[in-house]
Amino acid sequence: MEKATFAGGCFWCMVTPFEELEGIHGIVSGYMGGTVDNPTYEQVKSGTSGYYEVVQITFDPEVFPYKRLLDLYWPQIDPTDDGGQFQDRGSQYRTAIFYHNDSQKQAAEETKLAVAESGRFKKPIVTSILPASTFYEAEEYHQDFHKKNPKHYKEDRAKSGRDEFIQTNWK
């Protein structure tokens, strides 16, 4: 098993694209990239802790290769927005790929270059590619939020603008 860690704005919206796929054995919402030990949601949400909201995926690379995870990741985000994602603004909502080994780093860099060269976006691709650091699991109420609070999740996602962006830019 390997880990993959992606920041794509609100972690609630980053779970569903990866769940229930053969070879993916777990998706945990959490925090990575900051400076505070054991951060709380309130510390991360404040935008002053340096953390990103992330999802950490446990996967079997023999069944579901890392490159396929990247192919699912890119169309979930606006890779040109360094101020957050959609309605969620602030440094904690920026996009990033946190790599866990050299082959993940190389694959992330290759796919970022492919997105940049695709001509799909007029602005530069600003999604960071960073070494994975300590992962802190988010509070329990954030785990599988879309299942625990489906109405709230659907309303939040609908007003975020994420789905319209995906439809318009990633078709």
Q: Which are the catalytic amino acids?
A: 10
Measured CA to CA, the distance from residue 67 to residue 73 in angstroms comes to 10
Token pair for 144: 């599988």
Nearest to 129 by CA among 156, 97, 165: 97
* Spatial strand order in the sheet of 2-8: 128-131, 95-99, 2-8, 52-59, 24-32, 136-137
Q: What span, in angstroms and rounded, lies between the C-alpha atoms of 128 and 110?
A: 13
Closest CA to 135 of 58, 60, 56: 56
What's the rounded Cα separation, in Å, for the pair 128 and 91? 12
Residues 102 and 121: their CA atoms lie apart, in Å, by 27
**DSSP class of residue 5?**
E
Q: Look up residue 166 and give its amino acid.
A: I
